Amino acid sequence: MQKFIGGIGCFWDETKYEGIPGITSTECGYCGGKSKNVNYKEVCGGDTEHVEVVKVEFDQKIISYEEITRLFFKFHDPTTPNRQGPNTGYQYRSEIFYNTDEEKNIAEKVLSEVNQKLGGKVVTKISKEKNYCKAEEYHQKYFQKKC
């Protein structure tokens, strides 16, 4: 299995990845900040530098990293800095976290294509994965639990 980690706003939007062939699981988490272990209250405080992210595990025989990256850009507005819909704050920034040079190159290629289509307005960051940690259990599959 391969993974893709991206911040598309609130991590409860993990539901956008449901039902897509090849995607085997999603997990809400935090990534990109200063500490290895953080909690929701700390991240919302704005000092940790973490992003709310969705970690997507997928079968690369069915769906590619590039296809997942294209979905990432379809699932949110990559032109709004630190905001998605009603959610505002540094933790809601648009960001892709890569682990390999190949993932970085794919993300940069897709970002460039999307940016060209959107007139150079894309603010999505592409960063090396750093200090990923799983979010609290009550955030996992939030809408399935609450609806």
Is the confidence at residue 147, as pLDDT, over 90? Answer: no
The rounded distance, in Å, linking the Cα atoms of 135 and 33 is 13
Backbone φ and ψ of 130, nearest 5°: -145, 125
More confident residue, 79 or 1: 79
pTM of the predicted model over 0.75: yes
The CATH number corresponding to 2-146 among 3.30.1060.10, 3.30.930.10, 1.10.8.60, 1.20.810.10 equals 3.30.1060.10
Is the confidence at residue 142, as pLDDT, over 60? Answer: no
Closest CA to 50 of 68, 19, 28, 79: 28
Catalytically active residues are 10
